[in-house]
Chain A
Amino acid sequence: MDIDNLVKKFQEEKDVLAYQKLYEMYNKSMLGVIDTILQDEDLSKDVLQEVFLKVWDNIESYSPKRGRFFTWLLNISRNAAIDKTRSKDYKLQKKNQSIDIFVNISEPEDREVSDEEKTLIDKVKKLSEKCRKIIDLIFYKGYTQKETSEELDIPLGTVKTRSRSCLSSLKLSINR
């Protein structure tokens, strides 16, 4: 089923199978995003569970017109992880050094990867520093265009074009 229809089915009917499908589709990527922020595997798993509970409870508030389901989910995940970093216990044990989404890809562990993933890892290795930064801020850190332009010290209009050209250099096709 098309992802949009899947989301619709879940939203309109609270269909458990659709929910399960969405969980299977997104749990790995969201776990990656959350653990990049928390750098704590056990905590990240708990936060992921909280995130999907929120998705169950609040799916009514999602509006396709406002953006993609994926974007909505990513926002919830990131906010939940950031909330966690503000908790007292977390602060006590972590130095909270922020890393970007590519750190663990650039230093791959021994892992089984598909051809597609191998291609992507190679592309990531070749990514320029400025592309790494803008992709991380815009797509994963939730920066606005303005914040990104200030952080990277580039003109506002450049954020848009550079987001495109940088992501294009990683480009994958869903239909392969």
Chain B
Amino acid sequence: MININEYIESGILELYVAGTLNREDSYEVYANIQQYPELKEHIKNIEYTVIKVAELSKKETLKAYPFTKLMNAVNGPQTKVIPIKWYSYMGWAASVLLTIGIISLYTNNTDLKKNLTKQIAGNEILDEQRATLQGDLIAKNIDLTTRDEVIAFLSSSETLKVNLAGQTVSPESYAQVYWDKNTNEMYVDLNGLPPAPAGKVYQLWSLTLNPLTPTSLGTMDAYNKGNRYIKVSNTNKSEAFGITLEPAGGSKSPTLEQLYTLGLTNVS
């Protein structure tokens, strides 16, 4: 139990707002504020005074840019292809290399080669039966009338299935991409991803590896509404796909610490 008045009179709250207390003292003040509402009131008044003085110090003619200008800057230029600073993609590059590494490990073993490359990131062509099942499932989730179209799409030898494996932030996650390079049609199956937290959305990226360049294929807003499959159009020469978790509205470039899944389109 502290003596509130003495505590206030000591001036520690002023120094707290000024930010000149050391870490321990700051924690202590923070804890006390939680415990004694009067202190919080006092802190807010100090803060308010400091803010008002600063506001008055501003020349009347000086006005901040409108919020919309700030948001434009937050969202960045609306171009689709993002120039890359190589160093900021080292993490992603490492993941890609690791995936390639794992795959070449398997491919060295000729017995396992076919099966495992298929499982990891293979150019898997679905047999007719599985295509029908999978097509049913997708069509059910998108639009029943498209069922036959979807089945045809999946059973086509042109359709590439890419498995995206879970990454550091969420190793248990997975996703699949079905892509027809000729028609640019693509379906994404997001079922293996945890629900996106409020205010966040998954964003799909197409990657080319040399140089490593991500291109946004859009935010997966429909997944937040309960749609497992999302249809997108992909005109890129994608060498890999990645899915990151981003703030609602998506990001101009991927947040690599939030890379959930990643997969290569071709295994050589």
* Interface set of A (CB-CB < 8 Å, partner B): 3, 12-16, 20, 23-24, 26-33, 35-36, 41, 44-45, 48-49, 52-53, 56, 64-68, 70-72, 74-75, 101-105, 108-111, 116-117, 120-121, 124, 135, 138-140, 142-145, 148, 159-165, 167, 170-174
Contact = CB atoms under 8 A, between A and B. Distances in A.
B192 interface: no
A49 B73 contact: yes
A168 B74 CA distance: 38
Interface residues of B, number: 53
Contact of A163 (B15, B60, B69, B74): B15
Question: Interface on chain B toward A: helix, strand, loop, or mixed SS?
Answer: helix
What 7 pairs across the A-B complex have the smallest Cβ distances?
Answer: A13-B199, A164-B11, A32-B58, A29-B54, A14-B247, A160-B11, A27-B64
Interface in B192-222: 197-200
A124 B45 contact: no
A23 B67 contact: yes
Nearest to A112: B60
Contact of B16 (A15, A16, A67): A67
Given A16-B248, A70-B17, A163-B18, A109 B53 contact: no
Contact of B57 (A15, A102, A111, A173): A102
B60 A160 contact: no
B47 A163 contact: no
B51 A16 contact: no
Contact of B59 (A3, A101, A104): A104
Given A171-B49, A174-B48, A138 B54 contact: no
B65 A49 contact: yes
A20 B67 contact: yes
Contacts of A56: 74
Given A14-B200, A111-B60, 7 more contacts: A14-B248, A29-B55, A31-B63, A32-B57, A67-B30, A140-B54, A148-B20
A34 to B, nearest CB: 9
B210 to A, nearest CB: 28
A164 B9 contact: yes
Max chain A C-beta neighbours (<10 A), residue from B13, B60, B70: B70
Nearest to B248: A14
Contacts, number: 177
Given A23-B70, A67-B19, A172 B52 contact: yes
Given A13-B198, A52-B70, A36 B57 contact: yes
Given A31-B62, A102-B57, A71 B70 contact: no
A145 B64 contact: no
B249 A32 contact: no
A104 B114 CA distance: 76
A71 B18 CA distance: 6
Contact of B56 (A32, A41, A65, A135): A32
A3 B45 CA distance: 12
B48 A41 contact: no
A42 B52 CA distance: 22
A121 B54 CA distance: 12
Given A15-B199, A31-B64, A164-B11, A120 B27 contact: no
A167 B46 contact: yes
A62 to B, nearest CB: 12
A75 B54 contact: no
A28 B50 contact: no
Interface in B1-53: 9-21, 23, 26-27, 30, 43-53
B60 A109 contact: yes
Contacts of A44: 62
Contacts of A68: 16-17, 19, 43, 47
A14 B17 contact: no
Contacts of A3: 44
A99 to B, nearest CB: 9
